[in-house]
A and B are shown apart, each in its own frame.
Chain A
Amino acid sequence: MKGSVLDAEGIRKSVARIAHEIVERNRNNGRLCVVGIRTRGDHLARRLAKILQEITGSPVPVGALDITLYRDDLSRLEASPVVHATEIPFDVSGCRIIVVDDVLFTGRTVRAAMDALADLGRPEAVELAVLVDRGHRELPIKPDYVGKNLPTAKEDLVQVRLTESDGLDEVVIEARAA
């Protein structure tokens, strides 16, 4: 059984709203930077950074983080997953970093991202922005900005598709038989 969670317009509005919220909460704060978690989080990060730049009128640095090597389940996998490069062309120390991901689920990906960032430097602060929060946290991770809250069953499959990688913008949910 499939259902649409967000369409292209819905995604656009969510990202725009998150951008305004970020600007609102960080009005008097220091250097804003955006880091997206590969894959798809980095596309969202770039969209977000562009809007932030338009709003604030100043450049917002963007980077992409690959957290594969920091996964806590590496030793349990059948084979070493393919690692993509991390590209953060700025010094994370002293930045207020907005970490961006497409779906927040167990929270383990975000935990890995925090570890990876710690190895790159000492940010002034880290906030989390996600397009969809589907619940079922296994670690004490909380998003600061959410596009859409989506209650799901643990076996459900939430699929985010973005133009940059999939040719279209949509978020769909597939309910699987338990």
Chain B
Amino acid sequence: MTHWTRKDLLGLEELTKEELELLLQQAEAFKEVSLRPIKKVPALRGRTVALCFLEPSTRTRASFELAAKRLSADILSFQGASSSIVKGESVLDTARNIEAMRVDVLVLRHNTSGVAAAVARGVRCSVVNAGDGSHEHPTQGLVDLYTIREKKGRIEGLNVVIVGDILHSRVARSDLWGLTKMGAKVTLCGPPTLVPIVMENLGARISYRLEEALEGADVVIALRLQLERQQEQYIPSFREYTRLYGIDRAKLERAKPDLIVMHPGPVNRGLELSPEVADGPQSVILDQVTNGIAVRMAALYLVSGAHQGQATELPEPSPQGVRA
């Protein structure tokens, strides 16, 4: 694959294996930039990247901001609660206003699934999905793929276990698409209420017993458990969740000694991971953070190269009522 043709990066499900490879390869090239004394390249000099985070986030936003800055782009930063922008049309309206300031790339995070695609259809600038509801978080998926390949030398044929609240997780979905496209064998593990039967159709094995899932696994990705899940009665208590699905040293005993432990962060220490595992020798969580910058630089670099009106498959924005 010689070049990237998509205007937007909305998710990993629609990408081909070649496109994934290109992203990972570019991330490799950009990783070197972060190791220099002067961590900057002029690739996006003069371009403007708008960071529109309508759902709270410190790490992902900081990661995108740093990535854009290292590419020499100018940053525009918007924050706000998704609840203050109630309907999808309002998000689009916000996006159009941002676009009117001649922004080249819009990085968008929102708490509703599907918003990124809706906005991308309605604006000419590039849209990078930084997480839309429970749907996808493509750059995190890429970070995980990159980190796995960095640590294991390959992705194909590896046994990867994703543990936790799969039902509500956009990271789990992006990971699942990315990993299966790259040839890994994925197991989804968690309480049955958070790993519903219908997900068997998504190409993964399902297990409700963590120790059994970890046997023979090369990688385990632990997902953050939102505290609301107990109130919503998906699980009876955190104590039971941790006992059955929390990763601690005891649970790793039956696993391969070279198993790596990943987590998109931030970690609820003592819940998904015990402190000794989170900070232990098998954890590559900090590498994920480092790789996050390189991956996001690659994503911004590639989508900004696809010009307005020149990249393939960009329809005319659908006519919406224009606000006065």
Contacts and interface: CB of A to CB of B under 8 A. Distances in A.
Contacts of A115: 42
A120 B305 contact: no
Contacts of A83: 26, 29-30, 43, 301
Interface string A63-102: 0001011100011011111111111000000000000000
Contacts of B310: 78
Contact of A77 (B32, B37, B47, B305): B305
Nearest to A87: B32
Given A78-B305, A79-B306, A80-B305, 16 more contacts: A68-B43, A69-B43, A70-B41, A70-B42, A75-B46, A78-B310, A79-B3, A79-B307, A80-B301, A82-B2, A82-B3, A82-B26, A85-B29, A86-B29, A86-B32, A119-B36
Contacts of B2: 82
Contact of A80 (B3, B38, B40): B3
Interface string B305-319: 111001100000000
Contacts of A70: 41-42
B25 interface: yes
Size class of the B contact interface (CB-based, 8 Å) = 20 to 34
Interface of B: 2-5, 22, 25-26, 28-30, 32, 36-38, 40-43, 46-47, 301-302, 304-307, 310-311
A120 B30 CA distance: 14
Nearest to B2: A82
22 contacts: A66-B29, A68-B43, A69-B42, A78-B305, A78-B310, A79-B305, A79-B307, A80-B3, A81-B3, A82-B2, A82-B3, A82-B26, A83-B26, A83-B30, A83-B301, A85-B28, A85-B32, A86-B32, A87-B32, A119-B38, A120-B36, A120-B38
Contacts of A59: none
B29 A80 contact: no
A121 interface: yes
Contacts of A69: 41-43
B15 to A, nearest CB: 16
Residue in A69, A74, A77 whose Cβ sees the most chain B Cβ within 10 Å: A69
Interface string A40-62: 00000000000000000000000
A83 B44 CA distance: 13
Nearest to A85: B29
Contacts of A77: 305
B149 to A, nearest CB: 15
A83 B28 CA distance: 9
Given A115-B42, A120-B36, A82 B25 contact: yes
B232 to A, nearest CB: 43
Contacts of A80: 3-4, 301-302, 304-306
Contacts of B42: 69-70, 115
A111 to B, nearest CB: 12
B47 to A, nearest CB: 8
